[in-house]
Amino acid sequence: MLESLDPVVLARIQFAFTISFHIVFPAFSIGLGSYLAVLEGLWILTEKDHYIRLFRMWVKAFALSFGMGVVSGIVLSYQFGTNWSVFADKTGPVIGPLMGYEVLTAFFLEAGFLGIMLFGVNRVPKLMHFAATVIVAFGALVSAFWILAANSWMQTPAGYATNEAGQFIPTDWWAIIFNPSFPYRLVHMVLAAYLATAFVVGATGAWHLLRGRQGPMVRTMFSMAMWMAAIVAPLQLVAGDQHGLNTLEHQPAKVAAMEGHFEAEMKGAPLILFGWPDMQAGETRYSIEVPKLGSLILTHDPNGVLKGLKSWPREDWPRVPVVFWSFRVMVGLGLLMIATGVASLWLRWRGKLYQTPLFARWCLVMGPSGFVALLAGWFVTETGRQPFTVYGVLRTADSVSPIGSPAVAVSLLAFVAVYLAVFGMGIWYLLRLMRTDPEAASAAPPPKETRAAGITPVQATHGALPEP
Amino acid sequence: MSVLSDLAIVWSAILGFAIYAYVVLDGFDLGIGILAPFAKSDDEEETMISSIAPVWDGNETWLVLGGGGLMAAFPLAYSILLPALYAPLIAMLLALVFRGVAFEFRHRHVRHLRVWTWGFVLGSYVATFAQGVALGAFVQGIAVEGRAYAGGWFDWMTPFSLFTGLALIAGYALLGACFLIMKTEGALQERMYRHALPLGVAVLGAIVAVSAWTPFLDPALSARWFSWPNIAYLSPVPLLVVAIALGFFRSLAAGRQILPFVMVSLIFLVSYCGVAISVFPFIVPRAVTVWQAAAPDRSLGFLLVGTAVLVPVILVYTGYSYWVFRGKVGAGPTYH
Ligand code: HDD
Ligand code: HEM
Ligand code: HEM
């Protein structure tokens, strides 16, 4: 039975599954890392107690998320070889060194200072500890830099030639790293990580507000998160718009799929708000459209000409409904985030930011929105790149390992079982940390070392353990 | 041509270093997982696991450098070896998931402590065994056709590879025991001295067995070791092992604290060189050489610049981090 499944499809599902789990943790680590650095910095500057108590609360979430990011990431770095060996052979000379730099400049840096950040409070001077936090936060951003360079090169390959063995060989490293889509993707992704984190922190604050906890910790986290929403969500709209215009230039078929445009030439194309893209029929059914707006957004001219999917051969189309709908989920959530930010500014101005249960409840609902939008965005990007792994050059079907379906299927099942169990528990622990009353939990005296020369990591990070 | 061959050699050396660093560093981490079930109390178990909590992530990063470096420097080898070792590698990755999350998860809920301690222990056993199996399967040779792996899914499973899997469990346990000798005191340290002795004997026995077995795996291997004049050049290798082993047992008997770990690391180094002698210049044994697999110069050179600058920096700050956590691990109260 297993033999009848297509190994390419199985390998794709396996990759999508493992990376979708992975990306959630690094995104949270990128956002929380910077947040923690800011908190600790504010504490050093103002010496206000609640900043360091917030730090101690969120550093535990960070440790959990980071640990899960590490173990799920190691899986990925080997998955290129196990499931995508032809891809690895061909693109290794180009994206291998990028990932090599990621290890050398980011992973070692984070790992080297994480121990100090988590367990070193009583072992290094205050400023050294702060430096460790900043370095870890910086390392997470450096990691995003390199891996997004690699991914963007697959979207918009540049600076390479091919050799007799069919390998991509680098000709210009600058062009490879700063390939056409990279700057846009880097900005958009880092903003996405910050937004996703901000909405989780905001939802945590809202949860406690709704329980009548109005202490400085709760207010500070809620307020900081809402400032992020108010400032970063509109920036993300601008970044996303620019990203889309750039994609139109380099991957026009992907944009056609996002828009649900099939007709080869469309003058004054509408903006399709909703509908069902039917690839068989080659049209978007039941569509609700705004005339000419599509052309206006993408060409800045209401009568501008857009190319639809029929400009390209059928076998080069991505799975249109996935791209189309993921795009709408992302943009829709982005707009709701902007609305949240605006509402928070209004309430803040009226002095009712912490006293509006309806708004707090709304923020609680929006808690996961950042992560949903982030995943939806990656689905747009990655499914829109199909049927290629290296856009326009190397087909997905020609990238896969010579491994039979049963092996891929069994490993897929194993990944699903283990990830759901382990990361399911991890996410549950995270939620548990977040819903514990922070003021009460951190009221316990700060952890003390029992011995002068002993490592006491347990007490250091786990000092204020929530009781079950 | 000469530059190209040089870079391929340079990169073999770098990857060799990364893998050795991984084996010793994560070796003692995994070894502590292997020894954890033999802790006599919850406090002891806590001390053992605490001793590596601040450093395991850095240690495991060498594995990422090994994998990522292989893809960058020898993409052809990466693309043949990983499918060939599919099952053991997936098992290793999943086991490392359990091992890695346990550090944090153990303390997130009092009633889940036991579960994740077991995750930590089993993860350590399975990951170690899988690495040993992968090593054995690598040494015994891999079927290749064109630019791809041409064997079946279970080619890796032979008596030899299963034996190397078990042998590595003993090896990592020995590293773990010697690390704990350095980092602990009192009853726990005493017991580690006592564990180290039989583990040391087992590891030496395994080294002898593997050395005796390897030449029979493939005539090319016995030719490499036993033909004249190779045998003259290579005879120091076993002699070195014997000398270091003697040093190891003496350091144990003398109650030295740091020397046993150093000696075991040296035993690993010499055995590792022995494997390298069996394999080199092939990177996929007896099928693909380092020169055939090497990425073009521009890839190797580009990453080499960063490696040459950054690896020393990494070693410095990693050393700093170990220094911050120097000294004996406190038994410390746990929370119940
Ligand atoms: C450096 C490489 C890289 C990076 C950073 C990402 N991906 Fe990717 N992705 C791939 C490299 C890749 C790939 C190896 O090239 C895959 C495997 C099969 C394929 O067609 O492309 C892929 C496929 C793939 C698919 C399946 C698409 C399909 O088959 O229709 C999904 C849903 C994702 N990825 C999702 C993600 C997410 C959520 C990411 C967030 C981090 C992400 N990818 C980053
Ligand atoms: C296929 C793609 C990817 C691979 C192969 C990969 C690989 C890895 C590996 C091996 C680790 C663990 C490093 C360690 O040992 O410390 C890791 C962690 C991490 N990755 Fe990924 N990764 C991928 C995608 C991404 C993306 C798209 C991002 C962000 C934009 C990202 C950001 C991070 C960060 C910040 C960490 C640090 C750990 C953490 O913060 O949780 N990764 N990744
Ligand atoms: C508000 C309006 C938004 C617009 C117009 C927009 C636009 C886009 C476009 C066009 C892409 C695909 C780029 C390509 O594949 O070439 C994309 C991808 C993506 N989006 Fe958005 N986006 C918006 C909001 C958001 C929000 C709120 C988030 C998350 C919090 C988000 C996260 C992502 C991510 C993670 C990707 C994939 C990585 C990338 O290609 O940058 N986006 N976005």
pLDDT in tens, A108-124: 999 989 989 988 888 88
Looking at residues B207-225, what average pLDDT do you find?
A: 83
Of the partner residues A78, A94, A124, the one whose CB lies closest to the CB of residue B67 = A78
Which neighbouring-strand residues pair with A96? none
Judged by CB atoms closer than 8 Å, whether chains meet at B83 and A81 is answered as yes
Length of chain A: 468
Instruction: With cut-offs at 50, 70 and 90, classify the pLDDT of residue A422.
Output: very high
Interface probe for B, chosen from A15, A82, A118 (most Cβ of B below 10 Å), is: A82
B259 falls in which pLDDT band (50, 70, 90)?
A: very high
pLDDT of residue A9 exceeding 70, the answer is yes
Question: Model pTM?
Answer: 0.88
**pLDDT score of B146 more than 50:** yes
What integer is the mean pLDDT of B20-33? 94
Picking from B58, B68, B104, the nearest residue to A67 by CB comes out as: B104
Reported as half-sphere exposure (CB side, CA atoms, 13 A), residue A201 has a value of 35
Residue A346 at interface with chain B, using a CB cutoff of 8 Å: no
Q: Say what the pLDDT of residue A20 is.
A: 95
pLDDT band at A165 (very low <50, low <70, confident <90, very high): confident
* Banded pLDDT at A2 (limits 50, 70, 90): low
Q: Is A389 in the pocket of ligand 1 (CB under 6 A)?
A: yes
Mean pLDDT, residues B141-168 taken together: 87
**What average pLDDT score do residues B178-205 get?**
91
Residue range B35-68, pLDDT digits in tens: 999 988 888 888 899 888 888 888 999 999 999 9
Average pLDDT over residues A103-111: 92
Query: From the CB of residue A437, how many other CB atoms can be counted at a distance below 10 Å?
Result: 15
Res A59: pLDDT: 92
Residues within 8 A of B (CB atoms), A 44-63 only: 63
What integer pLDDT is reported at residue B2 of this predicted model?
53
Query: Any CB–CB contact under 8 A between A424 and chain B?
Result: no
Tokens of A51: 């900043």
Query: Do the Cβ atoms of B95 and B69 come closer than 8 Å?
Result: no
Q: What percent of chain B has pLDDT over 70?
A: 96
A257 vs B108: CA distance, rounded Å: 44
Partners of B144 in the beta sheet? B149
Within 10 Å of residue A59's Cβ, how many Cβ atoms? 22
How sure is the predictor about B327, in pLDDT bands with cuts at 50, 70 and 90? confident
A30 CB less than 6 Å from ligand 2?
yes
Question: Which residues in chain B have their CB less than 8 angstroms from residue A120's CB?
Answer: 54, 324-325
Residue with the bigger pLDDT between B129 and B271: it is: B129
CA dist B231 and A401 (Å) reads 40
Residues A310-365: tens digit of each pLDDT: 888 888 899 989 999 999 999 999 999 999 999 999 999 998 888 889 999 999 99
Distance (Å, whole) CA A375 – CA B22: 33
Count the alpha carbons within 13 Å of B82 in the hemisphere toward its beta carbon: 30
Structure tokens at A419: 């990830």
Mean pLDDT lowest among A9-18, A281-290, A420-429, B29-38: A281-290
Q: Is A245 helix (H, G, I), strand (E, B) or coil?
A: helix
From B67, B76, B86, residue closest to A77, measured CB to CB: B67
For ligand 3, the distance from its centroid to the CA atom of residue A330, given in whole angstroms, is 7
Please name every residue paired with A290 in a beta bridge, in sequence order, or none if there are none.
A271
Give the DSSP H/E element, type plus range, for residue A285: strand A283-290
Judge whether residue A463 has pLDDT over 60: no
Give the residue-averaged pLDDT of B158-187.
Answer: 92
Both tokens of A353, joined, read 């930011």
Residue range A25-30: average pLDDT?
A: 95
- Shortest distance, CA B122 to any CA of chain A (angstroms): 14
pLDDT of residue B5: 56
Does position B258 have pLDDT exceeding 80, yes or no?
yes
Which residue, among A29, A101, A108, A128, would best test binding to B if mutated, counting the most B CBs under 10 Å from its CB?
A108
| Euclidean distance between CA atoms A125 and A130, whole angstroms | 9
CB contact under 8 A, B321 and A116: yes
The per-residue pLDDT of chain A, averaged, comes to: 88
Residue with tokens 């206000």: A48
Q: For residues A33 and A39, is the Cβ–Cβ distance under 8 A?
A: no
Give the DSSP H/E element, type plus range, for residue A278.
strand A271-278
Show the DSSP H helices in A386-446 as ranges.
405-435, 438-443
What per-residue confidence (pLDDT) applies to A241? 92
Task: Of A134, A99, A127, give the one whose Cα is nearest residue A113.
Answer: A134
> What is the least distance, in Å, from the CA of A400 to any CA of chain B?
10
pLDDT for res A448: 42
pLDDT value for A444? 56
Beta partners for residue A305, in sequence order: A267
